[in-house]
Amino acid sequence: MATGRQLLERAAHELLDPQGRALAAAVQWWSLPGLGDDWPVAVLGTAGSEPILLLHGFDSSCLEFRRLAPLLAARSTVLVPDLFGFGFTPRAVDAAYNPAAVLHHLELVLRLACERLQVDRVGLIGASMGGSVAVELARRCPERISRLLLLAPAGLTGRPMPLPPLLDGLGVRFLALPGVRRGLCRSAFADPDAAVGPAELEIASLHLASPGWAQALARFARSGGFAGCGEPLPHQPLQVLWGADDRILRPPQKRAALALLGERLRELERCGHLPHLDQPAQVVQAWSDLCSSPVDDH
């Protein structure tokens, strides 16, 4: 079985999507103290504006940002890690796969990124589950995070719902079925007939071949994942985008998030659960607008 590193190296030459190939080619492998192994972080752009850290969603990978990252990289250094236990990361057999492990890994990534780039703070963009991860990370590391843009965030409200043994494994096997992957991929876009073809389906499923994918995902599901992460909202400037055609976030989730976020939230037309894929230019504009907001140095 190919390692995650080998899968990404092949992807840099063989993916159908040229933007996916370019992002895979930009992946570096960082050594993080205390974790062992090397960890994938795509690095694009050059020094200029404040660096930006992008956080992907549940059961996804850094390749999710293939359309957004190069647009942001025109003005900033962009860092796109795979979350711990997801994407193409190494997965130790005896590791804990839960929110605490995800956040610990990101704290190490954030610290090393600031050291390498010689900056004090970075901006943060999180998509779907990555939105909740971003909020948690901003509360943990307020001195490192300047501002946040959340894209169709999942897990800001509600409560953790751990899957019991057996059901977690069954759920993972269900997620691995080709027909299920195709259905999930289509449901994430505003216009699946136009947006979803072989290139999209390839990227949506490539990381499933990483060693330990099923076991790590089952353990994460058993932990309950990220939920109820929105309160209290971090003090940094924060904006939220979600799609008018989002079929992943259910109406009760949207109502609860709207009550929490209020005027911080903006809806995008002709957009599904993935604003960074359906409407990347609008995401870039929203980030530019957010960067004009004063930063709270409290």
Q: Check residue 49 and give its pLDDT.
A: 81
Residues 6+ positions from 298 with CB-CB distance below 8 Å: 235
| Closest C-alpha to 105, from 89, 88, 125 | 89
Residue 296 counted as domain residue: no
Note the pLDDT tens digit of each residue in 184-217: 999 999 999 999 999 999 999 999 999 999 999 9
Helix (H, G, I), strand (E, B), or coil: what is residue 107?
A: helix
Residue 107 counted as domain residue: yes
Note the pLDDT tens digit of each residue in 128-166: 999 999 999 999 999 999 999 999 999 999 999 998 887
Residue 62 counted as domain residue: yes
Residue 298 counted as domain residue: no
Q: Check residue 297 and give its pLDDT.
A: 58
The gap from C-alpha 43 to its chain's centroid, in whole angstroms, comes to 15
**Residue 118, token pair as written in the block:** 């010689």
Query: Is the per-residue pLDDT at 84 higher than 80?
Result: yes
Residue 46 counted as domain residue: yes
Task: Report CA-CA distances (Å) from 260 to 9, 33, 253.
Answer: 42, 36, 11
- Domain range spanning residue 26? 4-291
Residue 35 counted as domain residue: yes
Q: Report the chain's mean pLDDT, rounded to a whole number.
A: 95
179-188 long-range contacts (CB < 8 A, ≥24 apart) are: 181/205, 181/208, 187/247, 187/248, 187/272, 187/273, 188/247, 188/248, 188/272, 188/273, 188/274, 188/277
Query: Is the per-residue pLDDT at 16 higher than 80?
Result: yes
CA angle 147, 150, 152 (to 5 degrees): 175
> Strand 39-44 and strand 27-30: pairing?
antiparallel
Q: Report d(CA 191, CA 173) in Å as an integer.
A: 27
Q: Answer whether 136's CB lies under 8 Å from 226's CB.
A: yes
The gap from C-alpha 298 to its chain's centroid, in whole angstroms, comes to 27
Number of domains, the chain: 1
**Residue 137, token pair as written in the block:** 């990370």
Query: Is the per-residue pLDDT at 298 higher than 60?
Result: no
Residue 297 counted as domain residue: no
φ, ψ at 44 (rounded to 5°): -130, 160
Give the mean model confidence (pLDDT) for residues 78-106: 97
φ, ψ at 201 (rounded to 5°): -65, -35
This prediction has a pTM of 0.97
240 bridge partner residues: 150, 265
Residue 149 counted as domain residue: yes
Note the pLDDT tens digit of each residue in 276-292: 999 999 999 999 999 98
Query: Is the per-residue pLDDT at 296 higher than 70?
Result: no
CATH at residue 154:
3.40.50.1820
